[in-house]
Structure 1
Amino acid sequence: MKKSYYTILLSLLPFIALSQQQRAYKIIGTIADSADQKVVPYATITAVKLPEKSIKKQLAAQADGTFDMPIDSAGEYLLTISALGYRTVSKNVLVEGGHYFNDLGIVPINTNSIELKPVTITAYKPLVKVESDKLVYSVESDLEAKTSNGLEVIKKVPTLVVRPDEKIQVNGSTNVKIYINGRTSSMATKNLGDFLQNTPASLIKSIEVISKPGAKFDAEGTGAIINIVMRKKPIGYSCSLSSSVSFSSSPYARNGLNFTTAFGRFGASINILNKSYYPEEIYDRNIYRENYGDDDQKYTNGVGKVHNRWVMLVPNIDISYDIDTLNLINLSLNSAYNRSKDRYSANVGIENTNNLLQHSYSYNSSYLDLEKELNGSISYQNISKKDKRKILTLSYQIDHLPMELRNEMDIDSIKDYKSAKQISRNNESWTEHTFQVDYTLPLCSKGEVETGSKYISREDRSSSHILDYQYSTNQFVENTGMNNDFSYKQGILAAYLTYSLKIDRLSFKLGLRAEDSKVSCVFTSANTTGFNNSVKELVPSTSISYQLTEGQNLGLSYTKKIKRPSVWHLNPYVDKSDPNNFHSGNPSIKAEHFHSLELSYGSFGQFGNFSISLDYMRSNDGIEQEIKQVDAGTILTTFDNIAKVQNWISSASLMLKIGKDIRLQLSSSVNYNDLENKNTTARGLGYDISSDIEYRIVNGLKFSVSGFYLQEAKSLQSKTSALYYTNFTLKKEFLQKRLIVSLLYSNAFWKHKNTSYEVFDDTFYQVTKEVRQGYLYGFRISYSFGKLENEIKKVVRVINNDDIKGKGK
């Protein structure tokens, strides 16, 4: 390991030496009120190089009004200073060679009541804005975003943590919904890291973090919402191509294309993503089980390997048309093709209490999962001519997901065990139609009402058939007693009303949502009965935000949320395709109800930010796995409403800019879980910590190091081992920042990575261990070209459906 450290340090020495040769110029000063000479905190200062009028630097003054702005080169600059309640001021500054420090002293600015001569430079928005129910990060105000992708820029958003495995956490939880321009996206939801890497940050306007979604959003879900707002795309065209390859146990490749164009009243954007393992991923999977009540079959050991081959293709297109300046139509089409095939081969031995082998067999299975998803939506938006804050939106969305699942199992006896062969086939089709209307009505200059209604119609049709091998006839015969054919229908009618108001430094939003849900399930196969249920819900929410200073906010929110069980949780059919692990749903379980209270504080400035939050969540009917032992060699997993769930979460994040070349980000969360049902209790701590350090060696060359460690809290009947990652990345820009090449080295200190998953009750204990190759290395190349000028509009109110726990299978 010491050799690895020395190698890394020696490789960086030439870059560090080169960076020390380049000394930056500085412009320093203090912003003060021209009337009483009191300092003005957090003013925005922008440096524009003359005569080409290109923006070279932008930052915010400190709380004491001082600023320290590094400048790369000598020359004449136009400095503009803007602050809330003051007129924008411009000042010419001459930075001469050899004079590295340019002290402007006290820079006076005037309040709005004093007229100033108009200036030609526009004030730029602050990077972070906090509203009553959300935090907004302005990507278009981030000068570094022009050469970044979406994944790199989202790391800068306060309260967000991007793990090295590209999952996103908000306040310690990965239970996050992703929206694009206010609507759900199949590409972003299922493949967020890939989607963000394939999206140039220059196309993103802002990123909104809603840690506690209110009544406007579906009542389901206890997690946060991240809404990625794309920029109004200019007239002309822009194209970005990217490709990356990683090498571990097998090559892993992903490729992307992002194309945007507009002409006249039309605009369109196309995004295509492809990724695959080639030829396949290979890793070890070993299973150990101890049965407490059976001395003859006391211990079971299985040693095997998994071979996984996987390919995915996700194209989508978004089209907009301006009927006129007040009326707009958006059309979106998304598709996803996903094919994965797992092969698992193992030798299994069963021993008695004296560790003498009683039974043994070889187990081989092949599992194919094929999904072809199609999603489409159309939205119409009307903006009032008299008051442009009045917005009416009509939307329709359809989701169709056909799935084909096939599992082939072969058990070959080695010692005193019954041989068996089985083929299981499942064809399933999920269809969802959504109709929605939204209306925004301003009541005064600082208050507004939002209201709307939605109807969702869902249908899931499934047909499962089992074929058993008959050794007497040497052929497969259908086992009709294990067939599972059903039709599941759900209808949800919802309406919401929210009222928001801002009074000086105080902002608040109140909301109420009503939902009426009806479910029916009809089984056409034998030995299974259908079920029906109907539930009406009222879901209140409130959020309050108080601005302590220009860059500091205090927030308090309360939300009620529900999680409806999906057909996967409700279907009573017992799936016995795996002879050691049965699965069954529970038609009697009900929706979960969670009450959540959050207190948060944030301090945001140009040189960094700090945020901390405390969250308490409670439920008396949470849905949890219930694991039972059927016999000495088989366990059954089903679901039930446990009696009580309490969860306390404390999370904090810190981002600092050290000088002009170093960005440091640290975050951590600690959660205490208290789970209880009639038979079992589970109490314990879970925690995570992550870090990310980025160093700009020279212009156009960056080096970053990131790490992550996670230990989840123990559940009622399960426990997961810790996850840990490290990443080293070197990024270089070429051809006027159009070509970007990145080198990646992950998990450099581990040849192999071990993970384990434990399940248990009073009658048995089982642990599944997997061993994968640890280190991973690779590269990424992206190239962009094209020129854009004017803007395409986007509908601001669209459909979001996220009301199901574990949607589908």
Structure 2
Amino acid sequence: MRRILVLAVFGLTTIFNSAFAQSSHSIKGKVTDNSGKGIQSVTVSLLKAADSSLVKADVTDENGAFEIVIAPAGKYLLNYTMIGFERIYSAPFEVKNGQGYDAGSTTLQAAANKLTDVTVTSRKPMIEIKADKTVFNVENSINATGSNALELLQKSPGIQVDNNENISMKGKTGVRIYVDGKMTQLGSQDLAAYLKSINSNDVEAIEMISNPSARYDASGNAGIINIRLKKNKKFGTNGSVNLGFIQGVTPKGNGSVSLNYRDKKVNLFSNIGGNLGRQENTLDLYRVQRDTIYDQKSTNWSDNKSLNAKVGADLFLNSKSTLGFLVTTNIANTDWSSESNTNITYKPTNQYVKKLVALNTIPGSRTNMNSNINYRYTDSTGKEINFDADYGLFRGTGRSFQPNNYLDNSGNMLSRVVNRNYTPTDIDIYTAKVDVDQPKWKGKLGYGAKFSYVKTTNTFDFFNDINGTPVKILSRSNSFTYKENVNAAYVNYQRQLNPKWSLQTGLRMEQTNSEGVLTRADGVVQADNTVKRNYLDFFPSAALTWAVNQKHTLNLTFSRRIDRPTYQDLNPFENKLDELTYEKGNAFLRPQYTNTVELSHTFKYMLNTTIGYSHVKDFATQTTDTTNNATFVQQKNLATQRILSFSIGSPLPIAKWWNGYANIWYNYQMFKGKIGENEVKTDIPMFGAYMQHSFTLGGGYTAEMSGWFSGPSVWGATWKTRSLGGLDLGFQKQVLKKQGTVKLSVTDIFFTNPWTATSNFGGLYINGSGRNESRTVRLAFSWRFGNSQVKAARQRQTGLETEAKRIKG
């Protein structure tokens, strides 16, 4: 079946290519030196004659020749630049419909002063605001040093990470996390563990896309966050070494090594990195349920050992075709343990009843592996074809040993219950996709198709400990198998209608087939043992841009998106966390759909202001409920969620030695629905801010101050949290002839990151608080070696994009 679908994809591509073939406008020329010899690697930029704005650029080949292909006719000029030569502009010229233009031969003159031992340093701004996304350039941040990827997200503009390490963007949940263009196929707990194993030394940038086009998978109502890892950008052999030390409550360390080789025919790249250390956090929960008070104080420890490896190759078959291979692996061993003390009191008389002392030890391991083969074709007409075939796997194991001791007021043992469980998870993901882009109808036409198949098996074996011997409890043990197939196709078109107006519009179709089967160890068959679903959805998107004048630009966007449940959230069985708390899946959890419209205004290409409205149908969130004297959490669908949003952000070039960035956001969330028999109707305002300042101090020294703030907000639909934030300060010194860097930073200086939240719903009141090791001192050293010629590496996305957010530990 899969072979048939892949062949069908290739067939569709061939048909589309034939149907949409067209002529385009080509601008050709050659660049030579005074002797008439062609000069390689000259940057040739095509500019609009009216305002000198960039249209497209090319780099000359080994013979000094270049060719720039454009769709619209018009008046242009050319700009020639290269280190060691004088910059040259051509005279304006006109490209007429159906005709090309020959720029002839252009001679560059050597610069007046001979350049020797010149090092070209290119430094991107910390925060870049682009038409379709905001980019946080991590490799330029001092305060990002020593952080893991989850901490980097918390430092990113408009991103929040709550107490359960769920990620939201501008107050909206349902954001999808991509790594190098590939969506992570993990749920909240395993996703958080995976992100913690990625060190900031391996991260180049974080891209935040609030309204993705039809080219992207429709999953993710809050948009997309793409974590772009570092990749070779230079000819020759080169690499880097990074070492880091972190002191919080406990010491931690990290390190990575990268080695790359690139020439005209091949690009080989590799990276290996690791993290080692213990994390400590605390959690306090004061719970009032019926006539009883449960006052719980717990401390959790996580001993982490992780290894990340990335190996790839790009083979440049000819001037049009590239074949790429990529394998990434993440192996993590996490031994999690906790100790909690819960005083139980009879509320009417405030009489002490007993104390629960609960210990929990969970040694666990997680393995992620993704392999990709990519073929890319480009030609002189501007057509580009990308084909990707991917296989990904996730293997997770966990064994819990959980003694629960009930003590009287004098500390004497009243009773003891010991629970054990074994929870392996296996996930296999297969995808194939093709994407085509080409000039068409005076614009750019994109279309493609994708096939994905996911199979996940979750085993939950529950044991009672009888006199030191684990005895499997069949009524509480199960195996849950979930299979999902999504077939998708899309078309996307963008065009510059005239000098002031541009349009992008697209439509994506996704057809989903899924089946979840619960096999109970005791053989009991229930109504939710098997749940099948088949549905077809269409997801339109559009963007209209109006360049009012040189100072003002307006952009209007619309998109419809879907969020499918995580695989473990569909497992209807119960997982006991301790004697008083457990979590439970929901086999009837439905996907949620979001319609979003946004209007943004850009002033002088810097100040960006956005207002938006989102409507979510079948909004799904984690709820807290009770049964007898226990509390459980479960994902449920509410009726609707509506969000009004506002954000404003801009770079701040204060002085030559002082640059900054500031962003503030606000949204107003309106929930309306039911949890069981209880009505939920809540209107909640939320706001936050992010700022960053970098200082060039001279003598190879730089400094950075960055911080974030999130006002009182809501987690799920019932938890209300107080404000929190953090302020970081760092210094950097270049050493070893600027090939080495030493960085020292302090995070969360004022210790404002600990959280406090309350929930009062359905007869259950909870006041909770917690903290992690947010205040740390970090020292890092990096050394770069090898060839220093700058040469951009090709960027590509793999095919495992939508299937990766939905594994939950």
Shorter-normalised TM-score: what interval? 0.7 to 0.9
Give the conservation status (yes or no) of the 8 Å contact 1:732–1:740. Answer: yes
Separation of aligned partners in 2, 1:274 and 1:697: 32
Q: For residue 210 of structure 2, what is the aligned residue in structure 1? A: 211
Q: For residue 223 of structure 2, what is the aligned residue in structure 1? A: 224
Separation of aligned partners in 2, 1:150 and 1:305: 24
Which ranges in structure 2 are unaligned for 5 or more consecutive residues? 1-50, 53-74, 82-88, 96-102, 112-120
Within a 5 Å distance, the mapping from 1:267-666 to structure 2 comes to 267-277=267-277, 280-291=278-289, 293-294=290-291, 298-352=292-346, 353-384=348-379, 387-415=380-408, 418-444=415-441, 446-471=442-467, 474-504=468-498, 505-525=500-520, 526-527=523-524, 528=526, 529-550=529-550, 552-604=552-604, 609-632=606-629, 634-666=630-662
TM-score (norm 2): 0.77
Once the 2 structures are TM-superposed, how far is the Cα of residue 493 of structure 1 from its aligned partner?
0.6
Separation of aligned partners in 2, 1:587 and 1:174: 21
Aligned: 1:682 with 2:646: no
Query: Cα–Cα, structure 1 residues 121 and 689, in superposed 2: closer, same or farther, change >3 Å?
Result: farther
Bigger mean CA deviation after superposition, 333-342 or 176-185: 176-185
Once the 2 structures are TM-superposed, how far is the Cα of residue 281 of structure 1 from its aligned partner?
3.0
Once the 2 structures are TM-superposed, how far is the Cα of residue 487 of structure 1 from its aligned partner?
1.5
Bigger mean CA deviation after superposition, 128-137 or 372-381: 128-137
Query: Cα–Cα, structure 1 residues 520 and 179, in superposed 2: closer, same or farther, change >3 Å?
Result: closer
Q: Secondary structure at the match of 1:419?
A: strand
Q: Secondary structure at the match of 2:564?
A: strand
1:397-445 Cα distance to aligned partner (Å, 9 max, x none): 111001101111101221285420011001110100001112223214x
Separation of aligned partners in 2, 1:410 and 1:637: 21
Bigger mean CA deviation after superposition, 453-462 or 706-715: 706-715
Give the conservation status (yes or no) of the 8 Å contact 2:145–2:780. Answer: no
Give the conservation status (yes or no) of the 8 Å contact 1:161–1:169. Answer: no
Q: Secondary structure at the match of 1:161?
A: coil
Once the 2 structures are TM-superposed, how far is the Cα of residue 623 of structure 1 from its aligned partner?
0.8
Q: Which amino acid aligns with 1:726?
A: L
Q: Which amino acid aligns with 1:381?
A: R
Q: Secondary structure at the match of 1:411?
A: strand
Q: Secondary structure at the match of 1:360?
A: strand
Once the 2 structures are TM-superposed, how far is the Cα of residue 303 of structure 1 from its aligned partner?
2.7
Query: Cα–Cα, structure 1 residues 577 and 208, in superposed 2: closer, same or farther, change >3 Å?
Result: closer
Once the 2 structures are TM-superposed, how far is the Cα of residue 310 of structure 1 from its aligned partner?
1.4
Once the 2 structures are TM-superposed, how far is the Cα of residue 653 of structure 1 from its aligned partner?
0.9
Query: Cα–Cα, structure 1 residues 347 and 135, in superposed 2: closer, same or farther, change >3 Å?
Result: closer
Aligned: 1:747 with 2:744: no
Once the 2 structures are TM-superposed, how far is the Cα of residue 710 of structure 1 from its aligned partner?
1.1
Separation of aligned partners in 2, 1:138 and 1:589: 35
1:760-790 Cα distance to aligned partner (Å, 9 max, x none): 3231112332245664212111110100558
Once the 2 structures are TM-superposed, how far is the Cα of residue 231 of structure 1 from its aligned partner?
7.4
Q: Secondary structure at the match of 2:569?
A: helix
Q: Secondary structure at the match of 2:214?
A: coil
Separation of aligned partners in 2, 1:662 and 1:423: 57
Give the conservation status (yes or no) of the 8 Å contact 2:152–2:200. Answer: no
Separation of aligned partners in 2, 1:743 and 1:147: 8
Q: Which amino acid aligns with 2:553?
A: N
Give the conservation status (yes or no) of the 8 Å contact 2:176–2:219. Answer: no
Once the 2 structures are TM-superposed, how far is the Cα of residue 136 of structure 1 from its aligned partner?
8.2
Separation of aligned partners in 2, 1:418 and 1:796: 59
**What do you get for the CA RMSD once the two structures are aligned?**
4.2
Within a 5 Å distance, the mapping from 1:713-724 to structure 2 comes to 713-714=713-714, 715-724=716-725
Separation of aligned partners in 1, 2:122 and 2:200: 25
Give identity over the alignment, percent. Answer: 16
Separation of aligned partners in 2, 1:254 and 1:388: 47
Q: Which amino acid aligns with 2:342?
A: V
Query: Cα–Cα, structure 1 residues 192 and 660, in superposed 2: closer, same or farther, change >3 Å?
Result: farther
Within a 5 Å distance, the mapping from 1:98-177 to structure 2 comes to 119=108, 134-135=132-133, 161=157, 177=176
Give the conservation status (yes or no) of the 8 Å contact 1:182–1:798. Answer: yes
Separation of aligned partners in 1, 2:733 and 2:582: 51
Q: Which amino acid aligns with 1:448?
A: K
TM-score (norm 1): 0.77
Q: Which amino acid aligns with 2:327?
A: L
What number of residue pairs does the alignment pair up? 691
Aligned: 1:794 with 2:797: no
1:583-638 Cα distance to aligned partner (Å, 9 max, x none): 21222221101000011112355xxx211111110012111223211023x11222
Query: Cα–Cα, structure 1 residues 570 and 794, in superposed 2: closer, same or farther, change >3 Å?
Result: same
Q: For residue 85 of structure 2, what is the aligned residue in structure 1? A: none
Q: Secondary structure at the match of 1:198?
A: helix
1:94-131 Cα distance to aligned partner (Å, 9 max, x none): xxxxxxxxxxxxxx997558999865599x99989999
Give the conservation status (yes or no) of the 8 Å contact 1:349–1:361. Answer: yes
Query: Cα–Cα, structure 1 residues 563 and 793, in superposed 2: closer, same or farther, change >3 Å?
Result: same
Query: Cα–Cα, structure 1 residues 183 and 794, in superposed 2: closer, same or farther, change >3 Å?
Result: farther
Q: Secondary structure at the match of 2:276?
A: strand
